[in-house]
Amino acid sequence: MTAPTATISGVAKRYGIVQAVKDVTFELNEGETVALVGHNGAGKTTLIKLMLGLIRPSAGNVLVLGEDPAKGDFEVRRRLGYLPESVSFHMALTGRETLAFYARLKRVEVSVVPELLERVGLAAVAADRPVRTYSKGMRQRLGLAQALLGQPRVLLLDEPTSGLDPALRRRFYDILGELRSAGTTILLSSHALTELEGRANRVVIVNEGVKVADGSLETLRTLAHLPTRVSVKLAGGGSPVDWKFGSGWRKTGVDTVETEVTVEDKVALLREVTANPAEVAGVHLVEPTLDDLYAHFLGGRKAAE
């Protein structure tokens, strides 16, 4: 069992009378992708800044790669990669010059610049064009290349797919998959909940500076106890009116019916539905989505208050 790459322990951060983060605790592990989700102002960016060492906690402790990132240990900081929500570069420099500038700041060999530009899809089209000519998506890709300098062990990404079209989003997540396979810890702060499903090992939900949930999608589904939707397509032109399993089913089409079932009863229901395969043309299960879980845990937090 490897040691966590980042540990947040009882952390709070106050800005004057504003309590941005309140008693938050979680860990990030090697080769893990964690989605950090929450409304604007929930504390996501503050938590990232604490892990970068850009600000100090008002209470609690932050350790990244075994060190306090706010103490200015260069070796720790050079093993961190960061992509902010809004990237800002010198508009007169080319993409190649920009990346070379950041490589020198991070004490990384400038010879890696062409490879990184190729990796994010900028080498052929824009490497030697001024950044002022870049679209938002191209600047975002240049920002990702900057974050990848020095093969970071911990990669912190704040709304990283903002401005990327669907094809570039897929390429972006392919790159993250390669990094995770190589052992990089990735923290993704994003509002794009749908695209995070299947791409994050864990989800940490924060609301008003408080952590309200932490776990894999399956763990959160179990904790939330939300029902699974089961849709059945009848075989042989069967009518939903004749469907034999009672009033809990509702008609959704000429030959389709639907119901909801708890986690505990799901297997029994599926066994019953498929007992006579000749009656059923297809069964479709829709598990609670990350959107559903997010709404549930935020709703539970408000109810508790």
Q: Which residue has the higher pLDDT, 87 or 101?
A: 101
The pLDDT assigned to 160 comes to 85
Q: What's the average model confidence in pLDDT over 265-281?
A: 87
Q: Is residue 235 a contact partner of residue 279, using CB atoms and an 8 Å limit?
A: yes
Q: What's the average model confidence in pLDDT over 283-295?
A: 92
Confidence class of residue 243 from pLDDT cuts 50, 70 and 90? low
Q: What's the average model confidence in pLDDT over 37-57?
A: 91
The pLDDT assigned to 40 comes to 84
Q: Which residue has the higher pLDDT, 276 or 207?
A: 207
Q: Which residue has the higher pLDDT, 179 or 162?
A: 179
The pLDDT assigned to 78 comes to 82
Q: Which residue has the higher pLDDT, 172 or 240?
A: 172
The pLDDT assigned to 172 comes to 86
The pLDDT assigned to 298 comes to 87
The pLDDT assigned to 126 comes to 86
* Percent of the chain's residues with pLDDT above 90: 52
pLDDT(302) > 50: no
pLDDT(110) > 90: yes
Residue 96 neighbours by CB under 8 Å, 6+ apart: 113, 114, 117, 127, 128
The whole-chain average pLDDT of the chain stands at 88
**Angle between helix 136-147 and 166-181 (nearest 10):** 10
Sheet-wide strand order for 33-37: 80-83, 154-158, 185-189, 33-37, 202-207, 210-215
The pLDDT assigned to 113 comes to 93
Residue 218, burial from CB neighbour count under 10 angstroms (0-12, 13-18, 19+):
exposed
Confidence class of residue 10 from pLDDT cuts 50, 70 and 90? very high
The pLDDT assigned to 95 comes to 92
The pLDDT assigned to 304 comes to 40
The pLDDT assigned to 121 comes to 86
Q: Which residue has the higher pLDDT, 286 or 194?
A: 286
Q: What's the average model confidence in pLDDT over 57-83?
A: 87
pLDDT(303) > 50: no
Residue 116, burial from CB neighbour count under 10 angstroms (0-12, 13-18, 19+):
buried
The pLDDT assigned to 305 comes to 43
Q: Which of 12-16, 46-50, 85-89, 226-230 has the lowest mean pLDDT?
A: 85-89
Residue 254, burial from CB neighbour count under 10 angstroms (0-12, 13-18, 19+):
exposed
Interval 167-214: pLDDT, tens: 888 888 888 899 999 999 999 998 778 888 888 999 999 999 999 999
Q: What's the average model confidence in pLDDT over 64-75?
A: 84
Confidence class of residue 137 from pLDDT cuts 50, 70 and 90? confident
pLDDT(240) > 70: no
User: Which DSSP helix (H) or strand (E) runs through 69?
Assistant: none
Q: Is residue 67 a contact partner of residue 214, using CB atoms and an 8 Å limit?
A: no
